[in-house]
């Protein structure tokens, strides 16, 4: 294993081409260059500086690369810092303690072996005072916490222009840019994975773009947690998973969109919890699960829709709790359980509907607890269980029909539903009833039961005997 210490470098934007054509004659087509990596020829001694337009000064070293097809070479000027980069087998592993670059470039240079830098290693630039970074086309991975706590780092760009068209980067590792001062970033199309906490607590990050043709598949847990200035995110079509807490408490996030043909299958636990500015979300058809707390405390969330043909089967507990301006929800047919507190304290909720052929069997504890605008709800025929306090304090509900298959109604299920005047029971046998189920209902409450079953219901529901007819 060879180790080489460069005294730091940065590529000059304009490359000096040393040989003109590479064809064998005037009629030969131009060579489709396949370059080897850069190799330092003359070690630089002068520190890099960079002006507001990106021009680099102080380049007194040179580097060279050669086309493996035709032998043509070209050179570039490079500059130095006080101590250099440690590069081991193509991986930047560390930099010297006295390192004082503000503007740096990583990638495309070699160790003299013809092998380009392919990775920025774990904690390679941890807590360094760099302000901008250009990552070369040869780099395929950025390691765990590579730029963690570089609190002056505002700009990261990738080889191939503003959108990084020439980049080969595939992975942005765990915590790679957490606690930096990044203001915006364009993720190259080649990136497949954004690791856990990759941009955690980048509080100045307002814009995240994905280059056209993005191959991104995974946005891992905590990836953008606490990016409080982030205002919008457009999720590429190839993303299949948004991890737990991925956008947790991105308090300025107003817009979340999904590219046409989205392959998204799951939205993780608390993925958008605390996104207080989010006004609406359209869930792609392929999503099968929405995790617990996924949209909890999204207090500006007024609309939630599911694409036609939705494959959703699970909505986690407290998933939409405290969505105080949500006005309606249409539950897809495949959902079997509405978990505990899923829609608790949704005070503006006026309509709840279930798709034809609904497979819903269970409404959990406190599922719709809290004052709302619901005047009624048509429960699916396959429902078997209504949990404790499921509709407690829904004072606008006037009537409810309990499906024939219901076998259990929990305590306080309709407690303090002061507008409830009519309960229509379809079960032939009276289901077990918890305590105080209809306590606080309208004084004129009537419980209508199947013909000829009044006696059975009065015997089973002695507390409500005078209301049964």
Name the residue range of residue 7's domain: 1-19+33-92
- Examine the pLDDT at 449 and tell me if it is beyond 80: yes
Confidence of residue 267 (pLDDT cuts 50, 70, 90): very high
For the four alpha carbons of 410, 415, 419 and 421, in that order, the dihedral sign comes to positive
In a domain, 332, yes or no: no
In a domain, 426, yes or no: yes
- Examine the pLDDT at 1 and tell me if it is beyond 60: no
Q: How many CA atoms lie within 13 A of 421 on its CB side?
A: 5
- The model's pTM is 0.81
Rounded to an integer, what distance in angstroms lies between the CA atom of residue 327 and that of residue 344?
13
In a domain, 450, yes or no: yes
In a domain, 4, yes or no: yes
What residues contact residue 430 under an 8 Å CB cut-off, 6+ apart?
449, 453, 456, 457, 460, 461
- Examine the pLDDT at 210 and tell me if it is beyond 90: yes
In a domain, 87, yes or no: yes
- Examine the pLDDT at 102 and tell me if it is beyond 70: no
Separation of first and last alpha carbons in the chain: 88
What is the CATH number for 443?
3.40.50.12480
In a domain, 50, yes or no: yes
Tally of residues, the chain: 469
For residues 378 and 400, the answer to whether their CB atoms sit within 8 Å is no
What residues contact residue 459 under an 8 Å CB cut-off, 6+ apart?
none
Lowest-confidence segment of 38-42, 172-176, 461-465 by average pLDDT: 38-42
Q: Which of 340, 424, 364, 351 is nearest to 394 (CA)?
A: 351
Domain boundary among 74, 92, 110: 92
Domain boundary among 92, 108, 129: 92
Q: What percent of the chain has pLDDT over 90?
A: 68
- Residue 124 confidence (pLDDT): 84
- Residue 77 confidence (pLDDT): 57
Confidence of residue 439 (pLDDT cuts 50, 70, 90): very high
Lowest-confidence segment of 27-41, 72-86, 175-189, 350-364 by average pLDDT: 72-86
Confidence of residue 442 (pLDDT cuts 50, 70, 90): very high
Based on the structure, what is the number of domains in the chain?
A: 2
DSSP, collapsed to helix, strand or coil, labels residue 454 as helix
Residue 199 to residues 207, 247, 282, 436: CA-CA distances in angstroms? 12, 10, 24, 49
In a domain, 419, yes or no: yes
In a domain, 356, yes or no: no
- Examine the pLDDT at 397 and tell me if it is beyond 50: yes
- Residue 62 confidence (pLDDT): 66
- Residue 134 confidence (pLDDT): 80
Rounded to an integer, what distance in angstroms lies between the CA atom of residue 204 and that of residue 56?
25
């Amino acid at each position: 294993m060879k180790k080489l210490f460069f005294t730091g470098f940065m590529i000059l934007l304009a490359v000096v081409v040393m040989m003109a054509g590479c064809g064998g004659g005037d009629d030969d087509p131009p060579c489709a260059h396949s370059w080897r990596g850069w190799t330092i020829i003359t070690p630089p001694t002068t520190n890099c500086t960079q002006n507001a337009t990106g021009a680099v000064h102080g380049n007194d070293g040179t580097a060279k690369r050669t086309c493996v097809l035709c032998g043509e070479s070209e050179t570039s000027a490079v500059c130095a810092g006080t101590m250099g980069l440690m590069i081991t087998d193509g991986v930047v592993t560390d930099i010297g303690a006295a390192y004082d670059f503000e503007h740096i470039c990583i990638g495309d240079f070699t160790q003299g072996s013809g092998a380009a830098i392919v990775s920025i290693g774990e904690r390679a630039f941890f807590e360094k005072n760099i302000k901008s970074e250009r990552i070369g086309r040869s780099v395929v991975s950025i390691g765990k916490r590579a730029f963690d706590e570089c609190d002056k780092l505002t700009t990261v760009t990738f080889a191939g222009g503003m959108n990084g068209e020439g980049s080969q980067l595939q992975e942005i590792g765990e915590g790679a840019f957490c606690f930096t001062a990044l203001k915006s970033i364009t993720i190259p199309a080649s990136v497949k994975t954004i690791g856990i906490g990759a941009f955690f607590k980048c509080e100045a990050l307002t814009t995240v773009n994905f280059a056209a043709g993005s191959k991104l598949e995974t946005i891992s847990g905590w990836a953008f947690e606490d990016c409080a200035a982030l205002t919008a995110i457009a999720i590429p079509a190839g993303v299949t998973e948004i991890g737990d807490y991925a956008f947790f408490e991105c308090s300025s996030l107003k817009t979340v969109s999904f590219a046409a043909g989205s392959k998204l299958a799951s939205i993780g636990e608390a993925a958008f919890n605390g996104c207080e500015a989010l006004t609406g979300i359209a869930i792609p058809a392929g999503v099968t699960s929405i995790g617990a707390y996924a949209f909890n405390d999204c207090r500006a969330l007024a609309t939630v829709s599911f694409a036609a043909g939705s494959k959703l089967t699970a909505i986690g507990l407290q998933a939409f709790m405290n969505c105080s301006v949500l006005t309606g929800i249409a539950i897809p047919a495949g959902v079997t359980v509405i978990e505990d507190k899923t829609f608790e304290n949704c005070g503006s909720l006026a309509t709840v509907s279930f798709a034809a052929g609904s497979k819903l069997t269970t409404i959990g504890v406190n599922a719709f607890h809290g004052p709302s605008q619901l005047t009624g709800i048509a429960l699916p025929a396959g429902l078997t269980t209504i949990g404790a306090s499921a509709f407690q304090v829904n004072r606008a509900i006037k009537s409810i029909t309990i499906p024939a298959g219901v076998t259990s109604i929990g305590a306080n299920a309709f407690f303090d539903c002061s507008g409830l005047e009519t309960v229509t029971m379809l079960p032939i046998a009276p289901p077990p009833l918890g305590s105080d189920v209809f306590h606080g209902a309208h004084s004129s409450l009537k419980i209508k039961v199947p013909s000829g079953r009044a006696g059975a219901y009065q015997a089973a529901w002695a507390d409500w005997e005078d209301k049964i007819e």
